[in-house]
Structure 1
Amino acid sequence: MAALRARFGPRYRWLLLIAVMVGTIASIMSSTIVNVAIPDMSQHFSLGQGRAQWVTSGFMVAMTVAMLTTPWLLARYGYRRTYAGSMLLLMAGGIVGGLAGHFGLVLAARVAEGLAAGVVQPIAAIIIMRAFRPHEQGRASGLFGMGVVLAPALGPSVGGVLVDLFGWRSIFFMVVPLCLLSLWMAFRYVPNTAPGGASADRNGNMIDWRGLLLAAVGTMCLLNGMVTLHGQGSDPLQAGLLLGAALASLVLFIGWQRRMAATGREPLMSLALFGYRQFAMGSVVAFIYGTALFGSTYLLPVYMQLGLNLSPSHAGTILLPAGLVLAATIAGVGRLADKQPTWLLVTIGLGLLAASFSLMLTVRLTSALWLLALWATLGRIGLGFILPSLNLGSMRPLHKNLMSQGASAISFVRMLGGAIGVSLCGIVLEWRLAAHGDSLAIAASSPARLAAFNESFLMLAALCAIAMVAALQLRAPAPAPVAPPSARD
């Protein structure tokens, strides 16, 4: 990295961040944009709802688990090989998925894309914490976050146009140009070294395969258990068995990680991370934040279309300005994070997000669209306060040797919360609809249906309020008072 810094000068760290940001945007776009192609894909392959769901679920499981492998890959192969390899895998997944003539190949391509996305996403946080000075880390997080949130904000709109013009296969090919650009930037700006400037050790410890297997089984059982509880024909017994298996996997995973550490081997996830109070509380906030973010991303469009009888184009028009406000907020809050306590910014963001969910109760079937847009925008401003601040507040206390582990662990926890959030909102919504004697299968909306949606929004607001309690613990502990010399004598 020193040679690249000497070659490109003081601007090098920003060029490095942008290089990694391009790949992260490609990976996030691949995760969100495919949703607009699922109806056409289902028709092409004659898929039922259950099989079509695996296009999204397979990606999510692969991405969530792959995040845990990033520290080992960086230590063994270095930044450049790990990043470039992930971009090649993502591009291969896009090409194979676009050319596939069988659904099995499409699913395999989505899993490959998920693996690549999972490895890439923690890398930026590691670079921000290691390459930037403390007074620049907030600004770097703001720049990175602004670019990343524009991908899911604009991706579905672009994807819808592509599907209309060229069919569902074009969605897979869309990541190819971004992958090619990221590869060019990787070989120009990304160093060969491992985190901390050490040489990559190709003969280092093998990855913790047992821990990885337990994490994969637990994640798959958890997500399938939540999906089984959600939807028509749900099977409580099967869901209970799957969720029980997920809990058992978690217990075994923790026990195995402790054993690995006790015997001097490298665990997949260092439990020493959670000995830092700020990181432990940050992980709680990240989990709930992921639940609220992904849950509301699912709930809001359904609410607008099936609760308020708005067309898909109206729903998209309302959410697009909120996405642009989010990008602008992140950029501004990133600068604030260099000067203000991160726990305060995270707490403000969670408060705004909780207020946004609560204020949805004021919307009626006869309400003006600007009121809905205002509350949605308020929630996105809250997200803008949280995104650049949470990682910084959680990871700054960590020892430098734990930075890579911390970035992958907090990304894993956030994505796990996100995957749960979608199913949780669906489960609560169906429960409250049944309690009010309604169903989404009925075309017309009603005050009873709005009441069910409102109670689902209140559940998200309550989760944000709980996260605020954890966010207050992100404050750095006060230094112990130093006794005056006379007292020490």
Structure 2
Amino acid sequence: MEKDKKIGIYALLASCLGVFYGSYSANVASVALPKMALAFGLNNILQNWVSLSFILTMAVFTVPLGKICGKYGVKKTFIYSCILFLVGTIGTALSNSAILLFAFRILSGIGAAGLSVDTPLIIAEVVSPENRGKAFGINLACVYLGIALAPFLGGVLIYDFGWQSIFWVMVPFVLLNIIVLLLIPNDWYEGVNDIFDWKGSIVFAMGIIMFIYGFSNITSPIGLILAIIGVVLLILFIKTELKVPDPILKMSLYKNKRFLSSNLASLLSYVATFAVTTILSYYLQYIMGWNTAQTGLLVAISPVLMAVSSPLAGYLSDKVDPQKLTTLGMGLVTIGLFILIFLNKNIPVPVLVLSLCFQGIGYGIFASPNNNTIMSSVPAEDTPMASSSLATMCVMGETISMTVFTVICAIIMGDVVIAVANFPELIFSIKITFIIVTIISILAAYASYIGVKSKDKLIQS
């Protein structure tokens, strides 16, 4: 029993470390984008792709990695993911050309995809169902700590030491994560004898790449064509997965309305919220003239409040219907996003603080109960696929969120380097984006509400 407790502590610590620097990495580049664009001569479209290339890569690899980690071992794939992430991070910091920058961001994204699948799965494998919500709450507090430190610490580091420093600071945490994983004596396997579905993996990857790349260039004929092809391939992927004996993503799981509504709510919530840090970084640095340290301090308000509220929400999700909490949480997020629709060059800073408070508390209430619902809606043997689905919704939402902002900027501003002359167009792009994501946030709250009304029960509660 003492040994199992120690393994549980190591597993939770490894998961918390992984989500901490993983979330930091996914968010810190947004603060550095203006400086990185200057260093590499990137226009407004390409500088958004510094972040988008990372999360798009995650979107491509999360589904197949969900199957791989169950087949070849959760701990083993966790370690390999850490190593890939480490190499990509160091390479990004050492990049001296745009080509190398994007290449290493993609490599980091592959590693981060493994982290995003393994971190919730290792909790589901080790922590008992009655304590799972609490564990996810602690885990998500580390996610939000990483998100909070990304703009704050990132802003200070960029201001004092240059943009490369935001990547170097991650290296010790990745190394510590590998050490903690090596201290765990056993591994966890699901579906060892399953045949890996290479055809489904390739169709999914091509569908995601074509859809996201095409959608980000939707204003051009080739972009529209690629987006349509991407949708067709994703539909083909779903049909294929319904027929193969060992699918990389079991579509029958989505017949459970709890599982379906929570995944849909997760997807929509990330679409609504992920680009907010990037948008506010642009607004504060370009329009308001703030430096990176000042910008980081303000945008850190929301994730700090997420870190504070998520453990309590996770604890409560073990006691009450978790989807009641998720509905409330997304309602508060919606209020925060609605406030930002009125953003202009003279908006008072306290109004921005109020918006970020609503978003931070709301998303903290939403996230850990939603994760708990997803992981507790499936039989134990399907937890790797549930983890893969959760990670896929996350990175798909993040990718679409950034893509929406990128497309709006492209339509309104065109292919330009951001300067004083086009600040009015930038503000208009921001306002249109916040109108769209506020509507999406309302839909996320409604998706959670549908789950509350479902007769499906949480299998592992």
Q: Secondary structure at the match of 2:217?
A: helix
Q: Residue 129 of structure 2 aligns with which residue?
A: 134
Q: Secondary structure at the match of 1:475?
A: helix
The answer to whether the Cα contact below 8 Å between 1:84 and 1:186 also exists between their aligned partners in 2 is yes
Q: Residue 400 of structure 1 aligns with which residue?
A: 380
Give the distance between the partners of 1:431 and 1:38, measured in 2 at CA: 20
Letter in 2 for 1:465: I
Q: Residue 84 of structure 2 aligns with which residue?
A: 89
Q: 1:58 to 1:186 in 2, by over 3 A?
A: same
Give the distance between the partners of 2:93 and 2:379, measured in 1 at CA: 43
The answer to whether the Cα contact below 8 Å between 2:329 and 2:363 also exists between their aligned partners in 1 is yes
Q: 1:340 to 1:190 in 2, by over 3 A?
A: farther
Matched, 1:418 2:398: yes
Q: 1:190 to 1:390 in 2, by over 3 A?
A: farther
The answer to whether the Cα contact below 8 Å between 1:215 and 1:249 also exists between their aligned partners in 2 is yes
Tell me the TM-score normalised to structure 1 length. Answer: 0.83
The answer to whether the Cα contact below 8 Å between 1:162 and 1:171 also exists between their aligned partners in 2 is yes
Q: 1:208 to 1:479 in 2, by over 3 A?
A: closer
Q: 1:360 to 1:164 in 2, by over 3 A?
A: closer
The answer to whether the Cα contact below 8 Å between 1:16 and 1:190 also exists between their aligned partners in 2 is no
Pick which of 389-398 and 40-49 moved more: 40-49
> Which of 126, 145, 149 is equivalent to 1:150?
145
Question: Deviations for 1:27-71, whole angstroms, at most 9, x for unmatched residues?
Answer: 232333344455555555555555555443332222112211233
Letter in 1 for 2:210: C
Q: Residue 483 of structure 1 aligns with which residue?
A: none
Give the distance between the partners of 1:75 and 1:120, measured in 2 at CA: 13
The answer to whether the Cα contact below 8 Å between 1:326 and 1:380 also exists between their aligned partners in 2 is yes
Q: Secondary structure at the match of 2:53?
A: helix
Give the distance between the partners of 2:265 and 2:15, measured in 1 at CA: 25
Q: Which has the larger radius of gyration?
A: 1
> Which of 203, 210, 233 is equivalent to 1:221?
210
Alignment of 1:437-452 (within 5 A): none
Letter in 1 for 2:238: I
Q: Residue 443 of structure 2 aligns with which residue?
A: 466
Q: 1:190 offset after TM fit, Å?
A: 6.3
Letter in 1 for 2:314: G
Alignment of 1:112-131 (within 5 A): 112-131=107-126
Q: 1:271 offset after TM fit, Å?
A: 0.8
Q: 1:479 to 1:151 in 2, by over 3 A?
A: closer
Give the distance between the partners of 1:54 and 1:471, measured in 2 at CA: 31
The answer to whether the Cα contact below 8 Å between 1:80 and 1:190 also exists between their aligned partners in 2 is no
Pick which of 100-109 and 124-133 moved more: 100-109
Give the distance between the partners of 1:444 and 1:252, measured in 2 at CA: 42
The answer to whether the Cα contact below 8 Å between 2:156 and 2:292 also exists between their aligned partners in 1 is no
The answer to whether the Cα contact below 8 Å between 1:36 and 1:159 also exists between their aligned partners in 2 is yes
Give the distance between the partners of 2:432 and 2:103, measured in 1 at CA: 38
Q: 1:150 to 1:40 in 2, by over 3 A?
A: same
The answer to whether the Cα contact below 8 Å between 2:285 and 2:295 also exists between their aligned partners in 1 is yes
The answer to whether the Cα contact below 8 Å between 1:278 and 1:476 also exists between their aligned partners in 2 is no
Give the distance between the partners of 1:428 and 1:111, measured in 2 at CA: 24
Q: Which has the higher contact order (CA 8 A, sep 6+)?
A: 2
Q: 1:168 to 1:442 in 2, by over 3 A?
A: closer
Alignment of 1:48-447 (within 5 A): 53-101=48-96, 103-189=98-184, 191-195=186-190, 201=192, 204-229=193-218, 234-235=219-220, 237-260=221-244, 264=245, 266-305=246-285, 313-360=293-340, 367-428=347-408
Q: 1:361 offset after TM fit, Å?
A: 5.0
Question: Deviations for 1:284-313, whole angstroms, at most 9, x for unmatched residues?
Answer: 111111100113233333344556676655
Give the distance between the partners of 2:134 and 2:145, measured in 1 at CA: 17
Q: 1:333 offset after TM fit, Å?
A: 1.3
Q: 1:391 offset after TM fit, Å?
A: 1.6
The answer to whether the Cα contact below 8 Å between 1:433 and 1:449 also exists between their aligned partners in 2 is yes
Pick which of 105-114 and 407-416 moved more: 105-114
The answer to whether the Cα contact below 8 Å between 2:43 and 2:418 also exists between their aligned partners in 1 is no
Give the distance between the partners of 2:29 and 2:442, measured in 1 at CA: 32
Q: Residue 486 of structure 1 aligns with which residue?
A: none
Give the distance between the partners of 1:430 and 1:58, measured in 2 at CA: 17
Question: Deviations for 1:245-302, whole angstroms, at most 9, x for unmatched residues?
Answer: 1111112211221221xxx3x1111111111111111121111111001132333333
Letter in 2 for 1:62: T
Q: Secondary structure at the match of 1:269?
A: coil
Give the distance between the partners of 1:228 and 1:86, measured in 2 at CA: 31
Letter in 2 for 1:184: I
Question: Deviations for 1:220-262, whole angstroms, at most 9, x for unmatched residues?
Answer: 1122122214xxxx42x122111111111112211221221xx
Give the distance between the partners of 2:429 and 2:28, measured in 1 at CA: 29
Give the distance between the partners of 1:107 and 1:452, measured in 2 at CA: 25
Letter in 1 for 2:129: P
Q: 1:215 offset after TM fit, Å?
A: 1.5
Q: 1:353 to 1:407 in 2, by over 3 A?
A: same
Q: Secondary structure at the match of 2:320?
A: coil
Flag structure 2 segments of 5+ consecutive residues without an equivalent: none
Q: Secondary structure at the match of 1:268?
A: coil
- State the identity as a percent: 22
Letter in 2 for 1:275: K
Q: 1:287 to 1:30 in 2, by over 3 A?
A: same
The answer to whether the Cα contact below 8 Å between 1:309 and 1:445 also exists between their aligned partners in 2 is no
Q: 1:355 to 1:188 in 2, by over 3 A?
A: same
Aligned residues: 455
The answer to whether the Cα contact below 8 Å between 1:284 and 1:470 also exists between their aligned partners in 2 is yes
Q: Secondary structure at the match of 1:189?
A: coil
Pick which of 383-392 and 330-339 moved more: 330-339
**RMSD in angstroms over aligned alpha carbons?**
3.1
Letter in 1 for 2:439: A
Q: Residue 18 of structure 2 aligns with which residue?
A: 23
Q: Secondary structure at the match of 2:73?
A: helix
Q: Secondary structure at the match of 1:288?
A: helix
Q: Secondary structure at the match of 2:242?
A: helix
Letter in 2 for 1:258: L
Question: Deviations for 1:310-351, whole angstroms, at most 9, x for unmatched residues?
Answer: 665544332223322221011221221111211110000111
Q: 1:368 to 1:139 in 2, by over 3 A?
A: same
The answer to whether the Cα contact below 8 Å between 1:27 and 1:116 also exists between their aligned partners in 2 is no
Give the distance between the partners of 1:257 and 1:53, measured in 2 at CA: 33
Give the distance between the partners of 1:343 and 1:102, measured in 2 at CA: 46
